[in-house]
Chains A and B, each alone.
Chain A
Amino acid sequence: MDSVTGLMNGFAVALQPQNLMWAFVGTFLGTAIGVLPGIGPALTIALLLPVTVYIEPTAAFIMFAGIFYGAMYGGSTTSILLNTPGESGAMMTALEGNKMARQGRGAAALCTAAIGSFVAGTIGTLGITFLAPPIAELAFIFKPQDYFALMLLAFLSVSVVMGTSKVRGFIALFLGLSLGLVGIDKQTGLQRLTFGVPDLMDGVEMTVVLVSLFAIGETLYVASRFGLHKPNLNPLAGGIWMTKEDWKRSWKPWLRGTAFGFPIGALPAGGAEIPTFLSYTVERKLTRHPEEFGHGAIEGVAGPEAANNAAAAGVLVPLLTLGLPTSATAAILLAAFQNYGLQPGPMLFINSGDLVWGLIASLYVGNLMLLVLNLPLAGLWVRLLFIPRPYLYAGILIFSLVGIWGVSNSWVDLVMMFGVGLLGYMMRVYDFPIAPVLIGLILGPMAEIQLRRALSIGQGDPTILVSTPLSAVLMTVSVLIVLVPAALHWRRTRKIAPLPEDRSPV
């Protein structure tokens, strides 16, 4: 069965009225749970897995597709409106998105996120339909040194989110790195910085730090400086729809974000974070409005949000073609397949073609459903900001607690929520950027493990780090990223600085 007929049959199934209803239910539930801070797509699907046991496989998978994309999207709503990203992939969206919301452009930010998600999801699903086998091969091509070079590149390029003071940016970054070190060292089984606390053996929970730094820190900060006067800002001042200018500035970031997200998402150690970091950096470098970055640039929402969703679609590639779950979300989807006695992998398309094409078709349907559901709702979501502040912030704290306490039941995590929340407050008062903490926390352990893997395989030979074409290219780009701006800066200062003194051009 070739792709096109397969897909057509799939649509015939997915478009039946009752299946459309399941898609709607899935999208709705996925979005509703996905908005909770700390509860990302993996947990959402795990939570809703039992619900699907009682419906037939096709309907269940259609519902999954809705939950899958819905949960990915749900996180962006709270990131934009409340500056409380619920999972790491949505963090970059919060940086610019929340600034937009503060200017009354929340609806436009939500729209560009929704349409960007739709575009990325659709292109990603097209990729699954037609390009899955070659994309899946990437998994075999990437060696530890390639991963390391990719992560190094992500590291060096995020210096742009470090704000005005480099020293404070680096302190934030290294603070994140130090938090990332906590836990059992995977290579040797030794404990690092755990101080004998069993709950820290598996490391600092990323979502706890994320939620505490953003949501708790923000609550403390705003409470201490809250003016009794009514906020003079109308959340809807910027209209409820994107302007022509917004469209013009959004479509390229959508496509570029997708180009980062889909292939990296398909890698076993790729994930959704690296493409969102890279997308944000690239948009910031390419934009015609550099002055707006840090103050609500729409490109900074459109790009990372598309990258995030494209990465989610990318995860399905190795799952469906090779039977390899490369993320927590995929592992839970695999469990769902197994519940129905299906083994994803090379034989899946042959053995259960109808079901797989049904799933792929329902990804298109779920994605469209998400757009239909969320575009009209964008204006409604924004009205959340009309909730009186005492109740809004109290609600944020309770949702954060659902995410933190409900996931781990760990008292240590509650202590950490308080401690990191205070840190978030302090960082706001003394103008330390927050994103680098999380970038260090996420990328640090990943980069370290790939470095040590590569060196282990090479038995300590450092040249192995540039031994493949890909790693050599990525390393070169990384070095250039550091050197070129430094060289340009040096040339500029050399040209300008001597002028007033000896009055002769150099």
Chain B
Amino acid sequence: MTERPYWIAAGTVAWGAIVLWKAAELPQFDQYAYVGPGLMPSVVGAALVFLGLLLALQIRMGVRFEEQGAEDVNDGHDVSYRMLGLAALACALPVLTMPKLGFVITCTGCFVLVAAAFKSRRWPLDILIGLAFSLLCWWLFRKLGVQLGGLLPAMGV
């Protein structure tokens, strides 16, 4: 199977183009250093566009993308998009809930979601462990001075 992920090349070119476009708004030269604030972004943006095109060429020629190995990965590298979705949801959860619901609730949610993504089916136990662990972290690190915020910011607590 030769996958042809042209979208990666397209993404690289697009990001390079954004960098170039933003760089064009800045002065390229400086009165003494000559190298102005915009020069480096221009170079980096151009390089990304070039590398993206090069990657597209490689993909066209059928370059192989071998997945990196990791511990605990099943032998066939079978992908479960459901599990990926659960894990991604766990990582996105703080964006949604951290400012309003606070560290403890957010982290309990993350804990349960990640555990579920790793095929744990013991929901009540997961919630309990997650809550205990989150509370412990919150209490301990707050005591040490890490700014983790209140217990439930939305309620002013």
A interface residues with partner B (beta carbon < 8 Å)? 33, 36, 39, 46-48, 50, 83, 101-102, 165, 167-168, 170-171, 174-175, 177-178, 181, 185, 187-188, 190, 192-193, 216, 218-229, 231, 233, 388-391, 393-395, 397-399, 401-402, 405-407, 409, 411, 414-415, 417-418, 421-422, 425-426, 428-431, 444, 448, 451-453, 455-456, 459-460
**CB-based contact B74/A181 at 8 Å:** no
* Least Cβ–Cβ distance between A460 and chain B, in angstroms: 4
Q: A192-B41, A397-B110, A455-B32 are in contact. List 5 more A-B contacts (CB 8 A).
A: A171-B12, A393-B118, A398-B137, A415-B95, A429-B65
**How many residue pairs between the two chains, A and B, have CB atoms under 8 Å in the bound complex?**
241
Q: A178's contact among B37, B48, B75, B106, by CB below 8 Å, is which?
A: B48
Chain B residues with CB under 8 Å of A181's CB are 19, 40-41, 44
Chain B residues with CB under 8 Å of A406's CB are 141, 146-148
B interface residues with partner A (beta carbon < 8 Å)? 5, 8, 12, 15-16, 19, 22-23, 26-27, 30, 32-38, 40-41, 44-45, 47-48, 51-52, 54-55, 58, 63, 65-75, 77-81, 83-84, 86-88, 90-92, 94-95, 98-99, 103, 106-107, 110-112, 114-120, 126, 129-130, 133-134, 137, 141, 144-149
* Least Cβ–Cβ distance between B46 and chain A, in angstroms: 10
Interface of B is mostly: helix
Q: B133's contact among A190, A398, A405, by CB below 8 Å, is which?
A: A398
Known: A187-B30, A225-B73. A391 touches B115 (CB 8 A): yes
**CB-based contact A227/B35 at 8 Å:** no
Known: A233-B71, A430-B65. A225 touches B44 (CB 8 A): no
Complex CA gap A187/B40 in Å reads 13
Complex CA gap A221/B72 in Å reads 10
* Least Cβ–Cβ distance between B97 and chain A, in angstroms: 10
* Least Cβ–Cβ distance between A417 and chain B, in angstroms: 7
Chain B residues with CB under 8 Å of A227's CB are 72-75
Chain A residues with CB under 8 Å of B37's CB are 185, 187-188, 190, 192
Q: B65's contact among A177, A388, A431, by CB below 8 Å, is which?
A: A431
Measured CB to CB, the nearest residue on chain A to B22 is: A193
* Least Cβ–Cβ distance between B71 and chain A, in angstroms: 5
Complex CA gap A85/B90 in Å reads 21
**CB-based contact B110/A398 at 8 Å:** yes
Known: A397-B90, A451-B35. A167 touches B114 (CB 8 A): no
20 A-B pairs (CB sep. < 8 Å): A47-B144, A181-B40, A185-B37, A190-B27, A190-B37, A220-B88, A220-B91, A224-B84, A225-B79, A226-B80, A226-B83, A226-B117, A229-B74, A390-B120, A397-B111, A401-B98, A407-B147, A430-B65, A431-B67, A451-B35
